[in-house]
Every structure is written in C-alpha cells, then in structure tokens.
Amino acid sequence: MPTDIDAPEILMRNVHKWYGIYHALNDISLAVAPRERVVICGPSGSGKSTLIRCVNRLEAHQGGEIIVGGIELDGDERKAEAVRRDVGMVFQQFNLFPHLTILENCTLAPMWVKKMPRKEANEIAMHFLERVRIPEQANKYPGQLSGGQQQRVAIARALCMSPRVMLFDEPTSALDPEMVKEVLDTMVELAREGMTMICVTHEMGFARQVADRVIFMDQGRIVEEAHPQEFFAHPKSERASLFLSQLLH
Amino acid sequence: MIAKLILAHPDASRRLGAFLALLLVTAALYLLGVSPDWIGYVLPGSVDWLTQHPSYGRILSAFLIAMILAANWKALQTLSRFQQIVAVWVELFALLMLFFYSFDLSFAFIAKKIGFLITQGVTTTLYISAISIVIATVIALIGAIAKLSRNGVVYGLATFYTSLFRGLPLLMQIYIIYLGLPQVGYVIGAVPAGILALSLCYGAYMTEIFRAGIESISRGQREGATALGLSPSQTMVLVILPQAMRVIIPPTGNQFIAMLKDSSLVSVVGVWEIMYLARTQGQTEFRHIEMLITASMIYWALSICLEYIQARVEERFGRFNVR
C-alpha cells in the first residue's frame, strides 16, 4: 500500500462480495492515491468489473469497508449519491441515453444533479465534446454515431460532472478494432492531465503507457500488484505469466 | 412432381391458379346462398328466366359476383399503394352503408335525434372516458413501479389489485361499485361510479403494459444514469420512462380505444352516454336499429380520432430511433 502524505482517494479494506454462494470479491484491500492511474487486468470472471462497480456502489459489498473521497459507502443511499457525483464511470456498452441528443446526454446530469442553468451546462458540454473532438455531432442522437464516437461521448458526459475520479469498465472491449485507438488516445490525454483513474482493460499498451500500477486479479483476489514495467517483464505469480502469455501484444 | 410442373410452366400454372381461385369463390358464394334477385334489377329482361330456373340463377349470380370481385382485384393492382388503400376503404365503406341501407332506416328519425345523441351522449362518453384514461394512466404508472418494487408489501398490494380488477368482468365491477359502496356508507353517483370502475379496471390492464415497458429498457440505462448521480426517481422520469414510452404507447392506444367503447357499459347504471341514449331514444318510436347504428358509427368515428392521435404520439416518441 503506498504511504503517500495525501489521503487516498479510494480506500478499500478487506472487501468481500458474494453472488449467492459465489465469492466474487475475496478480501480486497486497495488504496488509490489522488492523480494515480491504476489498471486492473485478469481473466474473465476474476472480479475486475465487480471491484470497480463497488467503488461507486453500482454493486453493494458485503464485508469490509470502502471509502471514496472521505465518504464511507455503508449502505446509506445519500452517501452513495454523493460519491457518484465525484466519480465518473465509462461502461463497456457506453450506456448513452438513446432518446437524448449528444448534447442533452452531456447536460442531463449537470442540470438535474448539480442544478446548473442550461446555458452553463451547454457551455461545459461543448467544452468537453471539443476535448474528445466531436463537437460537430452535438445535435445528433447516439444511434447515428460510430461505436468509438459514442464511447468518446460517454467519456465527455462523465467529465461534465467534473469528477475527481474516473472509472473505466473495459471501455474498448465492445469496439471495432479500428476504433479502439481513438478512445485510448482520449484516455491517455485524460491520464496526462492528472485525472485519478481506475481502468479495467486488456489494452496492455495503454497500461504500459500511462499506468502507475497494474493490478492482476484472479478468482476474486488481487494476485499481483506492480509497476507496469516490472509486471510485464517479470510477473511474479504463475497465473499472471500464463495470462500474459495468452495476450497478443 | 407438381412443384416441378409449376416451375416448368409458370404462366400456365398462374392462369390455372387464378381460374381455381375464381371457381372456389364462386362455390363459396353459392354455398352461402347468394340470391339472384339483383340480376333482375340490373337486367329487367332476365326476370322470367330467373323465376323459371332458380338454381341456375343462383349459380350465375355467384359466378357474376366472383367475376366482379376478380375484375375489381385486377383493377386495384394497377393503382399505387396509397391509391389502393384509399380505394379499399371507399369500397368497403360503401358496402357497409349499402348493408345499413338495406335495413330500410328512417333517416328523418336519425336526423331528428342525432343532435341530441351528439350534444348529450358524445360529451358524456368523452368526458367519462377522458377522466378515466387519465386516472388509469396514473394508477398504471404507480402499479408498474410497485410491481417492480423489492418491498414485499408493495408488491403484494400491486399484484392483488391487478389480479382482482383484471379478473372481474367490468360490468360486475360497475354494479359492485355503484350498488356496493352505499352499503358501507358511501353513496356514489352513477357517473363517479362509472369513472371509478373504468379507471380501476383499465388501470389494472395498463399496469401490466407499463411494467413490461419499463422492464424492456436495458439495465445499462439505469446504471448509466445512476453512475452520473441521478436519483432513482430522476432516473425513472428522465431516462427510463421516455424510452419505455415507445413500447408502452401502441398497446396503451388500444386500451384507450377499448375503454372508449367499454364506457358504454356505464349505461347500465343510467348514465346518459351514447349507448344509454341510443337505447332509450329509439324506444319511444320503436326505431331501435336506427339509433343503434347511429351510435355505432359515432363510436367508430371517435375510435378513428383516437387512432390518429395514437399514430401522432408514436411518431413523436419514435423520433430518436433514426439511424
């Protein structure tokens, strides 16, 4: 666990989660410092997505404690909503709202959660749409955009709430290969600007490029935790070296 | 074997098929007992022959009608799609009017009564239906959310309600509310009783429609909204319901049209809506069929208006579905 002077942005201590009798998260302890970029990888079903979905309480954990930005997620729905205002999330399936235009997708939360006037929300939305380089699509509907464009909108939509932390749940897994790069480039820029990030991804190039730390999970446990250079060159556990040998890079 | 023959001689088999179809229609019309009298009206010279050969007359009549149908079909094929639709509507409407005309109706009587049927009957039917539709929608929305609730008490209440009010005939509900509520001390007027019964009954049906609509929206939508910090009620109103509307509107439109017509059941407790007036106004001069047909046409016209509104609303909620 890093011993920064800063209080960790995200702190998980001995977190457990079960789905019925299936032990999805087994004694997870993890601290993420402000501005830190963490990449989580591991075979499917290892609990990666469950872990980051516990950070903004899309899933409830059953043992241990999770503290995000100083707020403990203890089942109080108001605390969970407070955490979600500061934590942006990007999903594998984008989850854009198909009945709203791109601009409306981006202004919905600022206007209804932060009670921001429409004009200001529009300005902020256009600012972030320019940053992900699709301001010209603002008045289209999500169904009219390519997968890569939709995912960049999803990133812009999350950024409009000016979150302190961004969670990425396999953001490129549902994309056609030629669209992966445009989304990763956006994420790299975000990382360079000092956003605290947790990314569940199999993009090892991205992990090498921006991660401060790689976490390898298997069967609900954190098996290995290391700097990317070290993790890719000399994985300590057998499970991790097997996993890496099966990835194409 | 037959398939091979058909493939080898496409034109011949098409002609043979058409001929068989013609024969079949002729036979069907003959068996239905089509009368040959109309030939006599069209060709007065043939009357003698027809009276001498009644069975030949019937065969000829069936064959001629089949030929007319075939000619009509051929003629319609030459039109554009839109013209075909209009032509079919006009033809069938003319036939329906012809059918009513054959009843030997007194149009003077209809003209005398139709004003009252519209000012009193249509107004009453419309306001009973409109109020019931609004209340039923509210009930359906609450019921659907209750049915999706994890709270057992709420879920139990919702399922008991839908089960009971979908399980009882609407006519029975109207009687029970109108005659039963006074037993426990609430004297209720006929109109409020009718509105209450219609709302509760249709609310129960529409609860299922709304629930299915809400469930049809993928879990990702709720998660996306939740992750942005929206509260559950904001998520429902801003994200889930607008999308669910696309699934909800077509069957709801059907319910509205059905309710408009089922409001005629309220006549049993003496509300002066279309059906009640149709029955009572005809009685005085023993002209029941005039009033019933007039009332039917009024219901039909109202339903067409609702269909039109439904199509408009569907368009409005489907607009984001562009690709």
Q: Taking 50 as the threshold, does the pLDDT of residue A4 lie above it?
A: no
In chain B, which residues have their Cβ closer than 8 Å to the Cβ of A112? 230, 234, 238
Give tens-digit pLDDT for A14-46: 999 999 899 999 999 999 999 999 999 999 889
Average pLDDT over residues A91-118: 95
- Of the spans A3-7, A219-223, B13-17, which averages the highest pLDDT? A219-223
Q: How many domains does chain B have?
A: 2
In chain B, which residues have their Cβ closer than 8 Å to the Cβ of A87? 227
Residue environment code for B217-248, b if the CB has 16+ CB neighbours within 10 A, otherwise e? beeebbbbbbbbbbbeebbbebbbbbbbbbbb
Average pLDDT over residues A124-147: 93
SS3 for B104-170 is CCCHHHHHHHHHHHHHHHHHHHHHHHHHHHHHHHHHHHHHHHHHCCCCHHHHHHHHHHHHHHHHCCH
DSSP code for A69? T
ipTM of the complex: 0.90
Give tens-digit pLDDT for B201-227: 999 999 999 999 999 999 999 999 999
Best residue in B222, B228, B240 to probe A by mutation, most A CBs within 10 Å?
B228
Predicted confidence at residue A1, as pLDDT, reads 44
On the CB side of A93, how many CA atoms lie within 13 Å of its CA?
A: 11
CATH number for position B112: 1.10.3720.10
- B58 & B129 share domain: no
Nearest to B223 among A58, A143, A157 (CB): A58
Answer yes or no: are the C-beta atoms of B303 and B126 closer than 8 Å.
Answer: no
Average pLDDT over residues A159-182: 92
Report which secondary-structure segment, H or E, holds A224.
Answer: strand A221-226
**In a domain? residue B34:** yes
Q: Taking 50 as the threshold, does the pLDDT of residue B113 lie above it?
A: yes
Residue B102 C-alpha from the chain's centroid: 24
**In a domain? residue B89:** no
Predicted confidence at residue A186, as pLDDT, reads 92
- B169 & B231 share domain: yes
Six token digits for residue B230: 């929206």
Q: Taking 70 as the threshold, does the pLDDT of residue A6 lie above it?
A: no
Report which of B159, B138, B111, B272 is spatially closest to residue B203, judged by C-alpha positions.
B138
**In a domain? residue B87:** no
Q: Is B280 in a helix, a strand, or coil?
A: helix
**What's the mean pLDDT when you consider all of chain B?**
89
- B141 & B217 share domain: yes
Looking at the whole model, is its pTM more than 0.90? no
- B46 & B130 share domain: no
**In a domain? residue B70:** yes
Q: Taking 90 as the threshold, does the pLDDT of residue B1 lie above it?
A: no
- B54 & B133 share domain: no
In chain B, which residues have their Cβ closer than 8 Å to the Cβ of A99? 242-243, 320
Predicted confidence at residue B286, as pLDDT, reads 83
Predicted confidence at residue A5, as pLDDT, reads 53
Task: Residue B164: give the domain boundaries.
Answer: 107-321
**What's the mean pLDDT when you consider all of chain A?**
92
Average pLDDT over residues B74-102: 92
